[in-house]
Every structure is written in structure tokens, then in C-alpha cells.
Amino acid sequence: MSKLYSGAEIVFKCLEDQDVEYIFGYPGGAVLPIYDELKNHESIKHILVRHEQGAGHAAEGYARSSGKPGVVLVTSGPGATNAVTALTDAYMDSIPLVCISGQVPTHLIGTDAFQECDTTGITRPCTKHNWLVKDVKDLSKIMHKAFEVATTGRPGPVLVDIPKDIQFQKTKYVSSIKRKKLNGKIHNKFNQSEIDQLVKLMVNSSRPILYTGGGVINSGPKASELLRELVSLTGFPITSTLQGLGSYPGDDNQFLGMLGMHGTYEANNAMHDCDLMINIGARFDDRITGKIDEFSPKSKKVHIDIDPSSINKNVKVDLPIVGDVSEVMLSVIKTLKKKNSNFASSNKEKTSKWWEKISEWRSVNSLNFINSDKTIKPQHAIQRLYELTKDKDTYITTEVGQHQMWAAQHYKFNKPNRWMTSGGLGTMGYGLPAAVGVQIAHPDKLVVDIAGEASVLMTIQEMSTAVQYNLPIKIFILNNEYMGMVRQWQELLHEKNYSESYTAALPDFVKLAEAYGCVGIRAKTPDELDEKIKEMINVNKPVIFDCLVDKEENCFPMIPSGKPHNQMLLGPNDQKENKITGKGKTLV
Amino acid sequence: MSKPKSAYSIPGKKQKNDTHVIVVWVDNEAGVLARVVGLFSGRGYNIESLAVAEVDPKLNISRITIVTTGTPQVIEQIKLQLGKLVPVHKVADFMRGDKKIIFKEMALLKIVGNNVKRKKAIKFCKKFHPVVLDKTNKSVVIQITALRREIDTIMNDLKKTGLVSVSRTGAVAMTRGAEVFK
């Protein structure tokens, strides 16, 4: 007879089978049997966070920067509800997470027991799938399936809820059985005729654009290589969503910068005026499309996505291709090479007018800002940070708000998995715990959280985690004392009624850093900025960098809500905007 | 143009709504109905009726029939989103009025009234092969099977004959002929 294992042992055997190295968690009554078992499994290290939301975001940071699923372990009731924000964040941004939660013993479920909540009910809409384990015999099967669901197709979070009595009960262990497909859910449905159609569209296009998203990152490093090959083979311009940054070099000439609400003038205008739009692993989010009815009216649209429900959800497309973007791009490249070996050169002439137009838009220099020698402009701070860290293979995380958009605009990424930001859900407080997770995955790399002072306060307690595990993360706060993006919307749309967007009693971040046992650095003027940033980089400890920036700087360019792509608001110093677009000056 | 005061885009043009019958084959496991129904409520889709029961006890498969309305784009999304759920095996979509499909709904109708009214009620139902399941000298319970709209009409007709209670199953659907939906 084979050996019997307790539920808690089975959890760890499954984690070992799945090559899990780190779990991010917080103990509590209903998961104590699992925590008791932790000491017997040396290959798995537990990272103790200070709040379960932090565990979730740290696991997200780990997953995004390493390509492996992040594992979270929380207790029942408040442990699980605290993890909900992170699960929803991972769901929106397609990050593979496996969350294991304790539950009250089976016989107490439904009795409003202490620290009981309907965890599977609460997390149903924010996970790809979840399970309540009612029989210990199902546990190993469910655990393996949880990893399979989280990591296949369009990745996402899953949750396994394990009642305390199940953690004690004993049964046989079933190791993972690799299956070819998951309940009929096939992910690569595309065929050669679709590829041929796409190639035909590419050959015939005179104003093409590639619009790439997080799917390229999720498809693995190979996808980024293939994308680079595809771009150089076709000579097409390329723009990327917030989540796709890094899949194509940000400093390359064919790259038009980020598109969308705070995207560049050239990227948005090219999206609006193109005749062929090839969407690779992006999802036509409302921050990208602006007004749907006037979104890129003259183009044929191709959408390559692994998730069939992403297609035609927001924007009707002419050619949908359901599949892993790596495999689709590989097929496209092969077909292009076979049929038109000198496509790039023959295409050069055809698209030359298009490139001229793009250069015209580029000359507007939409990311420009009026620099100052008295106060630090936030854009300048990010440019300096970029210049001083670009040779170090730096990993950047962010919180949510103006600083996030400035980071996306001014920090240029050359490799995938170096940029971790909460895009879909827009979770303030994401960046600090995410940086913890990134540093765990890459202990020797420089990890910087570009933060706002309001966002960072939402999860500041995780500094304590960083100190405990000697994680030298750098929290680079662009401190303007306002919830900057809220303030910006209030200025532009709500008659400068700055309702509750100013934080009147901020902590002294330098002293706060010292209180946590890390290093605090403050920069007040542009003169001292470079020195201070260098100081931050050279400290081998966690650092909170309090960068005092201009309090009223707005993030431009910007597509106001309800407007199409060619009606952008440019910065205040751009007096030419009227001449450029004709109708571009529409102030909201 | 009015001034949009929101960080979100303003709604675009509205398309016409159609009524569809969506049939979903699912693993009969705890919470599966909540997943399907939660998907509808969470994404703002409409449910006009819902019928669910196990159809294959051996393979543990239940069949859910949902009548819904939406634009072609929404109906497409409903199908694709349902298809993503882990316990869902297949999803079929039939347009109401599709000649190749049989739609039926069963209703139990309780009539309270004198003999004349009860007789009249049964007569109204004649077209739908009424079965009298229970009768007393004051009341009668009639079972009919018909289309959704037909039951709506008959309910209206029966108001004057003493209809006091109605119970309906919601529509179920099946393809005509030898074909089976795969």
C-alpha cells in the first residue's frame, strides 16, 4: 500500500512537483496545518508579508518578472478578502497566480464561524477558476489543475480553498498528469489560410501599424524576439500598450512610443490614420481606443489573441486570429519570407509617405515639457533615473497615477519582463509589494518602484518585508503632495475643484525610511538630483527616495474622455496644436 | 456636444437587440450554476429565463438553457465568455424563430372559479394539449406546453377565467431532425 499523506503534505508535494520556489503569505488559524508542514520542505521558501494584498502583489511582481506562476498562501476570512484586490488585479492583467486559502473546517462551513467567509463565492468573478476542496482525495488533482488553469491559455489567477480538517486528513498522493488540452479549451485555433490573408493585407498596405500588448510579454521571451524580427522584416511602425512595453526596444526608430490616453502624438495619430492595424496580444481597452465610434475609421483591423473572447469585444475586427502570439508571428514570418523574400525593401517605397507623415507627427515632440532649474519636474526626474540606470538591466514597478504614466512615457525599456505596472485594475499600492516580488525573483538586479506619495502609502507596510529579507528595493517617490491624476482631472474637467485630492498630513518619508530600518534620501532641487539618485543606486539596502517635484505638473499628451485619437490635448507649451490637427485643440 | 465629466468614454451607437436561446453543457458540480449566472450578472447580460437539470448522470453533465437578449456583439461575447469557464463543455446559440430548432416551455396554471369559468379556461388552452393534473369543485390545475409567447398570451386570456397562480419552467430547446449539436 502506498504511503498516506496529510492534506497539508499534499499541498507541499504539489508545490514541489510544480517547481515552486517561493510562496508569499501570511499565517492564520485556518492555514496553520499547512504552515506547520513548511519546515519539512526546504526547497520552498516562504516570504512573510505584512498584509495579504501585499502577498498578492508580490506574487504578481514575481510572476511578471520571472514568467513563473506566483503562489500566495493566506488564511480564511480576512486573509482571503484582503487578497481579493490582488487577485482582481492579476485577473485584469492576465498574471498567473495560484492562491491557496485556508477555510474553516468542513462541518462549520455555512454557520458564520469565526473567520469564515464564502471565499469561492467572493473570488468567483476575479479568478479564472476556483475550487473549494471538500474531499482530501481530490486535493492533489485540484492543485495540479490549478497550476494548469493559471498558466495555460490567457494566464490568470486561480484560488484553492482548503478547509482546515481537509489539511489534516490523510490520503494517497497523485502526481501531476500532463494532459494535452483542458476540457476542450484549445488555444491555437488558427490555420494557414488566416496567415495568408494577413500576409496579403500586409503586402497591400501603405499605412500599416503594429499595435502590441501584454500578450507578447505573456507569450514568453521568444515572442519578443519574434516581434523584433517581424518589425525589422516588415519595416512597419510599431506602438505598444502600457502592458506591452519592453517587448520591443523603446529607443528604436520604428517604435512610436506608447499609445492611448497618455500615449504619444505620433502613435495615436498613426493609429487613427492607418489603413492596416495589426493588434498583437492587446485587447482594445477603453484607455486605448478613446471614442469607439471614431476609432481608427479607415483601417482594416487584424486581431491576434489567445483569448477568443477578447476578439470583437470592444472593436469589430476584419481578421481575427486566435492563437499564441509567438506561434502566429512565427507563421507570419515564415510565410512572409517564403512568399516575399525582399518584402522590407519593396515595402519601403510603399510606406515612405506614411513614414514621412509619422516624422511630421514626431516633430511635435509631444512628450516635451518645460523644464525648470528651481523645482524638479517629475518628467525630468524619470529621465534622469532612466539615464542613470539604463545600463544596469533595471526592473521597474510602479504604483498608479501620473507618475505611472510619466514612467511609461520617459523610461525606455529594451527587454520584456522589466516593467511591472497595474494597468487593467489600476491598483494604487501595487508597486511596492510588486518590487518585493521582483527582487525575490532577481536578487542581484536593481529594482526600482516609481511611486507617488499617495499610492505608496497604501502598502507602505511592506517596507518591513523588504527589510526582513534584505531586499534592496528602491522606492522612488515623485512627491507632489497631491493625488496627481485626480488633481489633473479636477483641473481639466471639474472647474479646478480640488475636492479631497490634497494630502495635508504626509509623513516625513526620510524618517519613515529610518523607522523601517532602511535608508531615506530626499532630493529638493534639480541640481542635487543626479547625485542623490546615484547615492540611492549605490546603497545595498532598501531605500525610500523622497523626490519633491512640481506640485501642479500635468501629464500630457492626453486624449480627453469621449474623444477620438486625433483630438489629443498637448502640453501647455505647445502653441502649435491648432495648426497641427485642425481640430486638435478641443479642450474638454 | 455635452461636456463629458468622466474618465470613461461616452457610450457609442446602440445596435438592435435580438432574442437568443443559449444552451450550455456543464459539469454538474457545486457552484457551476453560480458561475454561469454570475457571468451574466457581472457583465450586465440579460436573462429572460433559465432552465437547468442534469441530462447525463453517468458523465455528470447538466444542460442549462438560457433565454437572453442582446446585440449581436453581446450575444457573441456571451458565447465566448461561457466557453472560457472551466466546467463548460460546449455552448450552442439559437436565434429565436430559427425553424430548425424546437423551443418549448411548460406551464402549470391554477384556475379558481365556478364550473363555467373552469371549462372556459380549459377550452382556451385546447390548442396546447392541456392536461388537467388536479381538480376540485372550486379549482383546476392545467398543464400546457407551448412557446414562450403563447404562454404569455394565454396567461392574459385566462385572467378573466380566474387564473390565480402560474408556474413556468423557462424555455428548453432542441434541434430538429437527426442532427445533434456538437
Q: Which grid coordinates belong to A367?
A: 512628450
Lowest mean pLDDT among A89-98, A290-299, A560-569, B132-141: A560-569
CB neighbour class for A341 (10 Å; exposed up to 12, middle 13-18, buried from 19): exposed
pLDDT level of residue A582 (50, 70, 90 thresholds): very low
What pLDDT shows up at residue A185? 63
For residue B68, which of B21, B4, B116, B100 has the smallest C-alpha distance?
A: B21
Window 20-39 of B: residues touching A by CB (8 A cutoff) are 30-31, 34-35, 38
Residue A278, φ and ψ in degrees, nearest 5: -110, 105
Mapped onto helix, strand or coil, the DSSP state of residue A47 is strand
Phi-psi region of B36 (alpha: psi -120 to 50; beta: other; left: phi over 0): alpha
* A4-25 exposure pattern, b = at least 16 Cβ within 10 A, e = fewer: ebbbbbbbbbbbeebebebbbb
Q: How far apart are CA B121 and CA A187, in angstroms?
A: 55
Q: How far apart are CA B124 and CA B121, in angstroms?
A: 5
The catalytic position among A463, A485, A558, A568 is A485
* DSSP structural state of residue A380: H
- Structure ipTM: 0.89
Chain B residues within 8 A of A313 when measuring between CB atoms = 73, 77
Lowest mean pLDDT among A85-89, A421-425, A574-578: A574-578
Tell me whether residues A309 and B87 touch, CB distance under 8 A.
Answer: no
Q: How far apart are CA A138 and CA A7, in angstroms?
A: 10
Q: How far apart are CA A24 and CA A5, in angstroms?
A: 24
Residue B44, φ and ψ in degrees, nearest 5: 75, 25
A420 is annotated as an active-site residue:
no
Average pLDDT over residues A461-472: 98
For residue A538, which of A530, A527, A526 has the smallest C-alpha distance?
A: A530
What pLDDT shows up at residue A186? 63
Kind of pairing between the strands at A157-163 and A129-132: parallel
Q: How far apart are CA B53 and CA B33, in angstroms?
A: 10
Q: Which residue of A has its CA nearest to B14?
A: A293
pLDDT level of residue A577 (50, 70, 90 thresholds): very low
Q: Which grid coordinates belong to A256?
A: 512610436
pLDDT level of residue A183 (50, 70, 90 thresholds): low
Average pLDDT over residues A456-471: 98
Ranges of H-type helices in A188-324:
192-204, 214-218, 221-234, 265-273, 286-289
* A129-132: strand order across its sheet: A45-48, A22-25, A70-74, A97-103, A157-163, A129-132
In three-state form (DSSP H/G/I as H, E/B as E, the rest C), the secondary structure along A423-468 is CCCCCCCCHHHHHHHHHHHCCCCCEEEEEEHHHHCCCHHHHHHHHH
Cross-chain CB nearest to B6 (options A129, A311, A561): A561
pLDDT digits (tens, 9 = 90+) for A257-309: 999 999 999 999 999 999 999 999 999 998 999 888 889 999 999 999 999 99
The number of beta carbons lying within 10 Å of the beta carbon of residue B143 is 17
Q: Give the best residue of B8, B9, B78 to mutate against chain A (max A CB count within 10 A).
A: B9
C-alpha separations of A443 from A7, A59, A437, A465, B31 in Å: 32, 15, 10, 14, 42
- Better pLDDT: A390 or B3: A390
CA dihedral for A56, A60, A66, A68, sign (positive or negative): positive
Q: How far apart are CA A154 and CA A306, in angstroms?
A: 6
Which residues are CB-neighbours of A204 under 8 A, at least 6 positions away? A276
pLDDT digits (tens, 9 = 90+) for B3-27: 556 666 666 667 889 999 999 999 9
Cross-chain CB nearest to B76 (options A291, A292, A312): A312
Which residues are CB-neighbours of A525 under 8 A, at least 6 positions away? A374, A375, A376
What pLDDT shows up at residue B9? 64
pLDDT level of residue A542 (50, 70, 90 thresholds): very high
A271 is annotated as an active-site residue:
no
Tell me whether residues A561 and B7 touch, CB distance under 8 A.
Answer: yes
- Is the distance from CB of A103 to CB of A109 less than 8 angstroms? yes
- Interface check for A106 against chain B (CB to CB < 8 A): the answer is no
CA dihedral for A474, A478, A479, A483, sign (positive or negative): negative
What pLDDT shows up at residue A584? 35
pLDDT digits (tens, 9 = 90+) for A326-384: 999 999 999 999 887 778 778 888 999 999 999 999 999 999 999 999 999 999 999 99
- Interface check for B73 against chain A (CB to CB < 8 A): the answer is yes
Kind of pairing between the strands at B101-112 and B139-146: antiparallel
Report CA A398 to chain centroid distance, whole Å: 9
For residue A107, which of A164, A29, A36, A66 has the smallest C-alpha distance?
A: A164
pLDDT digits (tens, 9 = 90+) for A188-241: 788 999 999 999 999 999 999 999 999 999 999 999 999 999 999 999 999 999
CA dihedral for A385, A390, A395, A397, sign (positive or negative): positive
pLDDT level of residue A583 (50, 70, 90 thresholds): very low
Which residues are CB-neighbours of A444 under 8 A, at least 6 positions away? none
A52 is annotated as an active-site residue:
yes
- Is the distance from CB of A558 to CB of A262 less than 8 angstroms? yes
- Better pLDDT: B2 or A400: A400
For residue A326, which of A467, A229, A181, A216 has the smallest C-alpha distance?
A: A216
CB neighbour class for A347 (10 Å; exposed up to 12, middle 13-18, buried from 19): buried
CB neighbour class for A223 (10 Å; exposed up to 12, middle 13-18, buried from 19): buried
Q: Which grid coordinates belong to A404?
A: 505611472
Q: Which grid coordinates belong to A459?
A: 502598502
